[in-house]
Amino acid sequence: MNIPHIPVLLNETIDLFKRHMNPKGYFVDCTLGFGGHSEAVLENFPEIKLIGIDQDKDALSFAKKRLEKYSDRVQFINKRASEALKELKGLDISGVLADIGVSSYQLDNKERGFTFDADTLDMRMNKDQKFSAYDVVNFYDRNQLEEVLKKYAEERQFRKIADFIIKHRPLNSNRELADVLHKAGIKDKKRMAPIFQAIRIEVNNELKELENILNNVENIAKNGTILGIITFHSLEDRIVKNRFKEWARKCICPTEAFKCECGGNNQKGVILTKKPIVASKEEIKNNPRSRSAKLRGFKFTKGENG
């Protein structure tokens, strides 16, 4: 089987769950992808039942084949993770993993419209979604475009680039977009990549989706549920870091309060990773995409039953 995606931080992720997770009950993989992490979970935890979620039908059908030998322990859901998680309330969930972002298959497959040379302007993870990169690039007004470039790509020349895009409309493909960026002075692929990534984040509403995943995991977590999140973008990592801090806080009174009035009993659990776990030099050498990966872990001590 030719597997189009190398799972990142695989050993570190399994190790996190091995150290902290009850090896029975359900494990939810919110971003099944090509099933690399899920396969290792099923291998390492023979009593775990796994629920694999992916909004991308292509990924899901690949993972189904890959995990065939575990079919009596696996269920698949083809939805956005934030939606699918709502259906899992009441299950005995021991672990949840989200390996946020796109897979190498999506990134490398020209037809999916993520590559610099794609003949479309697409970038949708879910092909049933109507809104695509075409809409962002051709129909966003100046302020909206500038906001995407500034916020997600942290691009200093966001005004100039938005201006060039608007002047060259309509754009019909990533190739044309790359040409326009080139004309705007963005000649280096290293600088072009965050701009493409920013448009992708906007198309798939990725930051909002991450917030929703965290909200819904909080709603379904039990006492003892372990959550692992892998992110690839500093804004995503910040969302996870802040949410874990908020969950770990005993007192939720406003900082300006003179004394605690909330009872000081609001802690939902403990942070398992003081600092994010990052890829080793060797992993980065073998899989350069792991360079920006950050894994954080949290253990709920107060959940549905807590």
Chain contacts with ligand SAM (rule: CB under 6 A): 5, 7, 31, 33-37, 53-56, 59, 80-81, 99-103, 125, 209
Rounded-to-integer distance, Cα 250 and Cα 242, Å: 14
Pairing of the two strands 74-77 and 48-53 = parallel
The minimum distance between CB 288 and ligand SAM, in angstroms, equals 14
Give, as one character, the DSSP assignment of residue 205.
Answer: T
The minimum distance between CB 62 and ligand SAM, in angstroms, equals 9
Q: Smaller CB distance to ligand SAM: residue 103 or 225?
A: 103
Q: Smaller CB distance to ligand SAM: residue 58 or 176?
A: 58
Question: Which among 305, 127, 121 is positioned nearest to 223, based on CA atoms?
Answer: 305
Q: Smaller CB distance to ligand SAM: residue 146 or 297?
A: 297
Q: Which residues of 124-133 are buried (b: 16+ CB within 10 A; e: fewer)?
A: bbeeeeeebb
The minimum distance between CB 7 and ligand SAM, in angstroms, equals 3
Q: Smaller CB distance to ligand SAM: residue 266 or 273?
A: 273
The minimum distance between CB 191 and ligand SAM, in angstroms, equals 23
Rounded-to-integer distance, Cα 255 and Cα 153, Å: 32
Q: Smaller CB distance to ligand SAM: residue 25 or 33?
A: 33
The residue count for the chain: 306
The minimum distance between CB 40 and ligand SAM, in angstroms, equals 8
Q: Which residues of 50-65 are buried (b: 16+ CB within 10 A; e: fewer)?
A: bbbbbbbebbbebbee
